[in-house]
Structure 1
Amino acid sequence: MSYTPMSDLGQQGLFDITRTLLQQPDMGALSAALTQLVRQSALADSAAIVLWHGASHRASYFATRNNEKPIEYEDETVLAHGPLRRILSRPDALQCNYEQFRRAWPLLAESTLYPPFAHYCLLPLAAEGRIFGGCEFIRNADRPWSDEEFERLHTFNQIVSVVAEQIHSRVSSNVDYDLLSRERDNFRILVAITNAVLSRLDMDELVSEVAKEIHHYFNIDAISLVLRGSRKGKLTIHSTHYLDDAHPAHEQSEVDEAGTLSERVFKSKEMLLLNLHERDELAPYERMLFKTWGNQIQTLCLLPLMSGNTMLGVLKLAQCDEKIFTTTNLKLLRQIAERIAIALDNALAYQEIQRLKERLVDENLALTEQLNNVDSEFGEIIGRSDAMYSVLKQVEMVARSDSTVLILGETGTGKELIARAIHNLSNRNSRRMVKMNCAAMPAGLLESDLFGHERGAFTGASSQRIGRFELADKSSLFLDEVGDMPLELQPKLLRVLQEQEFERLGSNKLIQTDVRLIAATNRDLKKMVADREFRSDLYYRLNVFPICLPPLRERPEDIPLLVKAFTAKIARRMGRQIDSIPAETLRALSTMEWPGNVRELENVVERAVLLTRGNVLQLSLPEIVVPEAPVASVVAQEGEDEYQLIVRVLKETNGVVAGPKGAAQRLGLKRTTLLSRMKRLGIDKEHLAEM
């Protein structure tokens, strides 16, 4: 049968119907208007709209019953598998009586949606070739629809299809807009709270800021941060109660962890949401909430504060109005808890840094006391030779100034002892000298160790770190082996020396520092500058007051004093009693070259103490046997200085130093002596061809 919607209603009638239905704001109003129209035209006793949601496989139902009460229902079971499912697969008009309806869909017939009727008709709602629902008509009288009436039902159905599609599109757009607006507002709240709490390193300030922001945005009146205390089995609760918005009550308390709601969250690491009644068995803190809020039912939300897999604490929120903890708010509160956890991690790290700083101050006092109790004015420095006397006079001259000092000398000559003496004699000796070995630190970590870094500045930077320059504020910083500092890091060191300010890695905040720098190296910085291995501007900034330490072989008169001091110190440490050292032992030690300088001498003495049986130091190690000096086989030519002579002999031996045909043998020198002179004269055997 071919239906012509315009044939019976007339132009004006169709226009009026269309205008009425188009004015309806939503599906409920549309179904009510449709019911009224079909009743007026005696086509049906009720009408309904059933929509299909393909993405969720759900059906929704909109109708108005005889008492004019609107009905809205939605499911993915009974209604979704009712008559609507039939016309989705077979898009034809569906007609049946109540008995046929009940046999086909018994559960739906038993529901309140469909009281007994006489005749039922469902027509498909379609738009752009797609069925999106159905228009339902019910007649209570046992009078089937005639062809003319059926034609009118089709007319109504076609108009409803257009109107329902428009309403559906408009509602979907509004839902999307509302969702976007809500997400935008939630994002603003999240950013605001994140900015507010992340800058708080003091625990009390952090707790106060967290409470203020959550109360402002969520109107929650009881906010607490729960942390595990320093004592086992105890919880520390930082709580804020907004009995008065202008004057919130802050409180810190310690409670037993056992039996608390926080204990449950610490164990599960999951959010806990529940209502508490006064009759419930409560821990002291929850009992206090009832007293505070007049014994009203409390809705509590406890959120875990996690840093990775580590449980830092619990954010506990309590309010008398359970409507605050909606699904949307809980989702946002979870995100806020993640940000608070980051801020809490920072605050706890800051607390640890402060504790370590205080410990450093205590250690400094102890070290200062030890230094003050040393008999010698120069601490552990031992020496009466003219060379050492000259060094100590320079130390005394420069110590009380803030000038940068550069200590030069071979490995093992005691550069750190000189640096410590300079600091001990300075006006900065109330604080501990900070030291750092530039050669011992990997190049990638050297900058972080010197200047510190912020959390997240690079991979692995899980917490903020204070660098050596910041630790050495108002004190001295000893940079050992400064010649091994990477070239790319040298400008930053120069800037600190010139400007007395720096930035931590990952931060643009300038930190002022008052540091007196003492540097040391066993390398020839002047030659490194010429070879472009060291910046000239940094070299001149370090070389304000150079102190050159003589090698041990150039002060043999100090060796007996050093041997006696080392023997006494090492024997005391080992619990041994050594009363005397043979004179021949001291003479033998004084004639050695000591390429390892004082450090090598101390190691030899330690081995001797270990091997000594009795009260007299026994020194019989093969490595200290003094070899006879080799006889020279070449002599200097006329007008040839020491540098030219050594270079000539090295060229003649093709750079070989040791062995029977080596340069040392031909010059009548020991291998170590020749190497020492080559170093002093700047002779590099690898570049002989260029000389």
Structure 2
Amino acid sequence: MNVTENLHRSEVIDLFVSVSEATVSIRNKNDLVSFIQYKLKNIFQFSDLAISRYNIPKGTFKVFLEHCDKTNQHPDFNAIAYEEYPLKDGLHDKIMESENTVVLSVDSLIASGMKHLVFLQNAGIKEIVGIRLLQNGEVFGGMVLLSEEEGAFTVLQRRLIEKISNYISSAVANIIANEEIQKRDKEKSILLSLSNETAKVKTKEELFLVISEKLKDLFSILSFGIIVKDRDTQTHRFFMFEVDDSTKIDSEFQTVINHQYINSNDLIFTSILNTGTPIVLETEKLEEPLPLYAQFWKKNNIQKVIGTALSVADDDIGCLFLRVEDDFDINSSYDLLKGVSSQIAIALSNIISNEKNQSQLKEILNYKEQLENEKAYLQEEITSGNRYADIIGGSIEMKSIFHLLSQVACTNSTVLILGETGTGKELIARAIHNSSPRKNNLMVKVNCAALPANLIESELFGHEKGSFTGAFERRIGKFELAHKGTLFLDEIGEMPLELQVKLLRAIQEKEIERIGGKGILKTDVRIIAATNRNLINEVKEGRFRSDLYYRLNVFPVHLPPLKNRKDDIPELVNYFMAKFSKTIGKEVKGISKKAMTELLQYDWPGNVRELEHVIERSILMTEGSLIKDAFLPYRETFSDHKKETGDRTIAGFEKSYIIDVLKQCNGKVFGPSGAAVILGIPHTTLHSKMKKLGITKSDIFG
């Protein structure tokens, strides 16, 4: 006969008093397990006991605590026992609906389809008695006792279990309440700690460490990513992320994180921001069209991601994505997620604001530097500016040039200056500008031969920050810099074909667009172009656009080579002697008749620039106040070369001249003693000419 069969009324009352006192003192699961072991097992004959919590809205149940001596011998006990199961399983739905205990056979339950109970059968469990647990009249769980015998629970025992279940319900409710209090206290402690950590965060790297360390401890996340809105607020992109090393180097992943997403096309991003609370993203249930990052989730079998908005006040900054385990329960972490995302949002907002401030400060400093450069540029223009009176020459050829300048200077017409290297094309351009209504604004020079082809467009039209690799800040182009002034395009014949069409559009439409820019900028610029090339031949050869040529050739000015205006040489010599005597610090006041004769007999393939350098070199080599000899080390070489080759073309003279200078400099192109300095041209221009003329090392070193 069972123990309970012999209990008298007074003993039953004593039992309930004992149970009542015990359950009131229970505060945690261990206390309840001890009570079950030492109290209930002395009254009822059962081997195992389990208490489950019901999630009625979700329609599932999960074991809350268990005391199993028999069934826990199964190797997969934890995986089986603590799995989440549907309430309508043939056992718990009956327990939930019944006011009294429910007794069921394990064999019958398995036969009805509850295959997961086979492990109970294998452990020798034959009968289950269950009773629902209530709090304030609402069912919140169920308790089952497992017996190795059939008919182990008599009617009296079942009534007793029903009575005791009220106390068990209170104990379980107290435990849940205590766990909730402890959870809240822990969350407050975590949020306080996170708040202290994020308050110290100043950089992106520091925020990454806080998220990586703290969130992994809190939610056992596998990886995370943060997407933030761009400054235009219409697009967004990844701000930071943490993934394993193999994913990080994956080309598809690189595409995902470097992509600029459009808000209106990314329904995941916008729905998270609109909801404002953490949501579960189950990738299999996401609706098309999907943004690239969600496509990446699906392709890589990422089942579940938590998305939560990052907002400060009413300002939506972006979204935090947490990759979690498939069994992650958002309900238990909902409030903590909200608190954590709020702290991260504040830190992120501070970082973005700080980066913005730093960027603006850098931009201000860049603009300050740019203004200083413009000031220096303008001062240089003013210092080196030339009126007609500053252009040396009284020959018939130069008087003709002066007449042309007087006709065009006061207009806004485009001017094309044609002439050999060293004839003074930039000097003429400055003279036109300084005599024009635009003289109070800048004349900006662009040497088309001195810039790499891929940089000319940026130099002319400017670029926005991030528009191409290396574009670390916004830069205004020469068209903008020359607004209301003059743009001098030197060596226009060297401009790449693909850029010529953009230049033509800028000249015709009087508007430009920065690289990476989103708007059109109106410009008011006068164009003066110059070249030493025969542009008509260049057009015929397909190297120069005919439409651009006709647009530039509005008012051509052909500068004569120095050999065609030798009457100007004495005046030029006196001018350069006065100039270099002052700068070098030598009082050279004249030149011998012999030296002047040599200068007049020389063909001057380098034109006025070559004459200038010859006078400078002669003053340096002269002792006393009179230049006795003109130092023309290339004259004889040129004469011999002409006799040998018979090449009397301009290109031939130029090639021979450059080779001779390179020989004198031992092949050195740039630097203080390089050929470019002697020739008076940028080293990039010299390289371009050497390539064009086919000058090789064998020409220089033999």
Q: TM-score, normalised by structure 1?
A: 0.50
Q: TM-score, normalised by structure 2?
A: 0.49
